[in-house]
Amino acid sequence: MPTYACDLADVREAAKRIAGIVHRTPVMTSETLDQLAGRKLFFKCENLQKVGAFKYRGATNAVRKLSDAEAARGVVTHSSGNHAQALALAARVRGIPAYIVMPKTAPAVKKAAVEGYGGIVTLCEPNLSAREETAARLVKETGATLIPPFDYPDVIAGQGTAALELLEDVPDLDAVVVQVGGGGQIAGWCIAGKGVNPRLRVFGAEPFGADDAARSKAAGKWIPQTAPNTIADGLLTSTGELTWPVIRDRVEAVFTVTDDEIRSTMRLVWERMKLIVEPSGVVGTAVVLTAAFKSLAGLKKVGLVFSGGNVSLDKLYW
Amino acid sequence: MPTYACDLADVREAAKRIAGIVHRTPVMTSETLDQLAGRKLFFKCENLQKVGAFKYRGATNAVRKLSDAEAARGVVTHSSGNHAQALALAARVRGIPAYIVMPKTAPAVKKAAVEGYGGIVTLCEPNLSAREETAARLVKETGATLIPPFDYPDVIAGQGTAALELLEDVPDLDAVVVQVGGGGQIAGWCIAGKGVNPRLRVFGAEPFGADDAARSKAAGKWIPQTAPNTIADGLLTSTGELTWPVIRDRVEAVFTVTDDEIRSTMRLVWERMKLIVEPSGVVGTAVVLTAAFKSLAGLKKVGLVFSGGNVSLDKLYW
């Protein structure tokens, strides 16, 4: 058995470490969606997590695991998405500084959100090398610990805690379908889910316009995501050095859906389930509504994760 | 002690009768809203109820309570709102017909929603006497039982079951703030809530443009609602013969808010809680954010009800 960035024991420790800080989110069901999917669906509502996204689990686990001496120097990341907000709040809850590197082109509302959680924002040029250099400089200057958004063992273990909770609530799931961006969430779910129940089948879900994991699985080797183009803006990145091996070995297949399918699924969830889920958060749900997925046999009960609910309410998506 | 349309024992029987048919909805919290309100808030999420509204409780209780002989002849109501959909589904679940009288001016989408739940729609002229006459004719022709939307003991008892659940989950609530339309919900909550805990304080919440209960309370006598004008389209009606005495005796005060306050609260709930709640469902939440309510002493823990989530997603509300 190969070893990965973390194992089931790490996820169980993470669950203890973050208990009482992170919400135990509800699992919702919908008869309408069951009918459309042709099977029973169980939705883990991480859109109702603090910060509005599952990212708060991994960030909290990483921040709580630091020694007091390490923690006192703070944490650093470069992100303009949900991980930045999650790390800022996780740091504030521990009473330590969070240095967040964001591209100067990031929307003002995202900067304000991070600052609202107490994050100290440093703007940089909008390219990966500038972000990495700025983060490295902050680490050097402050002695803070870099907490990357997904390719980091404690983050992966933290994300897996949601799968543990879902399997406690619905122990007889046949499969889970999980969104893939950098792969931190699906790697954590593989390790936790298959750790608890080795027969659990894990499928990935990607937008057609950022389908690097699907192409990597098909090719049998890691392929980076270049020039992503999708409404699902949380799923733009390539999988990582730590997450790809888990996806390669533990994920049965990665399904893709179009942005139109994502939009219509999003509207369906808002209308029928009364839950605000962001485009990136409904990609798995869009997958289970496709003919391709519906044709799979032996899947009576399928788990999904509404991974986040952070959308602008200044526009309609349909 | 005066007697009302129903008592705590009726609500407890209703809870047993509808168990397993009606969702036990979750109770949510939000640190952001707590901070804005200056106290701890607990939200009973009836927007996540089947049919997207608390109305399914009362309709189900009324339908389940019919004898087999009565039930076989069906049920009738005149409504174009959530009660119509709720009664249609409650009837379908029992396998009996539901005759729904709607004004011919009702939006096609509302007619389609009722028919989607199996309701048999009869259109009539858009005035109250036409609706009542049409419903009476259907009762005469079919022998079906008329189930009004609020002024009916079994409906009031059914609505009270949500308060029982909330007080089971949060036993030490100091008060609840409940929307008032026809008054079925708040009457049920008074009877259930004060039945369980006589010290529980109950406040009403109304839109300024449909403030008949507030004016009735101030005058000490029933005043009908004429020419209502508010975005909260579920709260347009006057209180009823059965609901008004409960409100008169058991509700401490009724607070009003403007449509702008309702809209901004609705956006706040969508953004921060990721829950879709209709305008009528956030009026109590808008009340607890007012200076008037915040100035009340002795209310550490306050319960609220997101009474429904049925909104058109074809437009923005702000």
Instruction: List the single residue in A with minimal CA-CA distance to B268.
Output: A313
Question: Is the domain of A100 the same as that of A239?
Answer: no
In this predicted model, what pLDDT tens digit does every residue of A136-183 receive, in sequence order? 999 999 999 999 999 999 999 999 999 999 999 999 999 999 999 999
Question: Is the domain of A228 the same as that of A277?
Answer: yes
Q: Which of A47, A267, A275 sits opposite B313 (nearest CB)?
A: A267
In this predicted model, what pLDDT tens digit does every residue of A57-70 receive, in sequence order? 999 999 999 999 99
Percent of all residues in chain B with a pLDDT value above 70, rounded to a whole number: 100
Question: Is the domain of B101 the same as that of B113?
Answer: yes
A219 touches chain B (CB under 8 A): no
Separation of alpha carbons B85 and B50, rounded Å: 10
Report if residue A312 sits inside a domain.
no
Q: How far is B311 from chain A (nearest CA, A)?
A: 8
Separation of alpha carbons B166 and B168, rounded Å: 5
How many separate domains does chain B show? 2
43-82 of B, contacting A, C-beta below 8 A? 47-48, 50, 52
Report if residue B315 sits inside a domain.
no
Separation of alpha carbons A298 and A49, rounded Å: 31
CA A6 → CA A155, A167, B164, distances in Å?
10, 19, 44
Report if residue A242 sits inside a domain.
yes
B118 versus B80: the higher-pLDDT residue is B118
Instruction: Note the pTM of the prediction, 2 decimals.
Output: 0.95
User: Which of B126, B146, B166 is the last residue in one of the domains?
Assistant: B146
Q: Which two tokens stand for residue A216?
A: 């990597």
Question: Is the domain of B104 the same as that of B62?
Answer: yes
pLDDT of residue A60: 98
In this predicted model, what pLDDT tens digit does every residue of A225-252 receive, in sequence order? 999 999 999 999 999 999 999 999 999 9
In this predicted model, what pLDDT tens digit does every residue of B244-268 receive, in sequence order? 999 999 999 999 999 999 999 999 9
| Per-chain mean pLDDT for chain A | 96
Report if residue B106 sits inside a domain.
yes
A271 touches chain B (CB under 8 A): yes
Please give the average per-residue pLDDT across B282-303, as a whole number.
98
Q: Which of B44, B50, B65, B80 is catalytic?
A: B80
* Number of inter-chain CB pairs under 8 A, A vs B: 42
3-state DSSP of A29-96: CCHHHHHHHCCEEEEEEHHHCHHHECHHHHHHHHHHHCCHHHHHCCEEEECCCHHHHHHHHHHHHHCC
Instruction: List the single residue in A with minimal CA-CA distance to B277.
Output: A274
Report if residue B3 sits inside a domain.
no
A275 and B277: CB-CB below 8 Å? no
Question: Is the domain of A134 the same as that of A162?
Answer: no
Residues in chain A closer than 8 A to B28 (CB atoms): 48
Residues in chain B closer than 8 A to A52 (CB atoms): 274
State which residues form the domain around B17: 8-55+152-306
Question: Is the domain of B178 the same as that of B196?
Answer: yes
Asked if B80 is an active-site residue, the reply is yes
Asked if B315 is an active-site residue, the reply is no
Q: How far is A308 from chain B (nearest CA, A)?
A: 9
Report if residue A64 sits inside a domain.
yes
A259: number of Cβ within 10 Å: 17
Place of tokens 């939006």: B107
In this predicted model, what pLDDT tens digit does every residue of A5-21 receive, in sequence order? 999 999 999 999 999 99
Report if residue B85 sits inside a domain.
yes
Question: Is the domain of A82 the same as that of A220?
Answer: no
3-state DSSP of chain A: CCCCCCCHHHHHHHHHHHECCECCCCEECCHHHHHHHCCEEEEEEHHHCHHHECHHHHHHHHHHHCCHHHHHCCEEEECCCHHHHHHHHHHHHHCCCEEEEEECCCCHHHHHHHHHCCCEEEEECCCHHHHHHHHHHHHHHHCCEECCCCCCHHHHHHHHHHHHHHHHHCCCCCEEEEECCCCHHHHHHHHHHHHHCCCCEEEEEEEHHHCHHHHHHHHCCCCCCCCCCCCCCCCCCCCCCCHHHHHHHHCCEEEEECHHHHHHHHHHHHHHHCECCCHHHHHHHHHHCCHHHHCCCCCCEEEEEECECCCCCCCCCC
pLDDT of residue B110: 87
Question: Is the domain of B141 the same as that of B216?
Answer: no
Question: Is the domain of A198 the same as that of A228?
Answer: yes
Report if residue B273 sits inside a domain.
yes
Q: Which two tokens stand for residue A232?
A: 């699902």
Q: Which two tokens stand for residue A117?
A: 């959680």
Q: Does residue A222 have a pLDDT over 70? A: yes
Q: Does residue B72 have a pLDDT over 90? A: yes
pLDDT of residue A1: 60
Q: Does residue B69 have a pLDDT over 80? A: yes
User: Which of B146, B181, B197 is the last residue in one of the domains?
Assistant: B146
In this predicted model, what pLDDT tens digit does every residue of A259-309 receive, in sequence order? 999 999 999 999 999 999 999 999 999 999 999 999 999 999 999 999 999
Identify any residues that bridge with B201 across adjacent strands, giving them in sequence order.
B175
Please give the average per-residue pLDDT across A202-220, as a whole number.
97
Separation of alpha carbons B288 and B10, rounded Å: 30
pLDDT of residue B78: 93
Query: If pLDDT is split at 50, 70 and 90, which confidence band does A108 have?
Result: confident
A274 and B26: CB-CB below 8 Å? no
Please give the average per-residue pLDDT across B188-200, as a whole number.
98
User: Which of B131, B146, B161 is the last residue in one of the domains?
Assistant: B146
Residues in chain A closer than 8 A to B316 (CB atoms): 313-316
Q: Do residues B313 and A316 lie in contact, with contact meaning Cβ atoms separated by under 8 Å?
A: yes
Q: Which of A30, A79, A80, A307 is catalytic?
A: A80
pLDDT of residue B1: 60
In this predicted model, what pLDDT tens digit does every residue of B128-175 receive, in sequence order? 899 999 999 999 999 999 999 999 999 999 999 999 999 999 999 999
Question: Is the domain of B101 the same as that of B172?
Answer: no
Question: Is the domain of A29 the same as that of A139?
Answer: no
Instruction: List the single residue in B with minimal CA-CA distance to A30.
Output: B50
Question: Is the domain of A214 the same as that of A168?
Answer: yes
Percent of all residues in chain A with a pLDDT value above 70, rounded to a whole number: 100
B318 and A318: CB-CB below 8 Å? no
CATH number of the domain residue B74 falls in: 3.40.50.1100
B274 and A273: CB-CB below 8 Å? no
Please give the average per-residue pLDDT across B283-290, as a whole number.
98
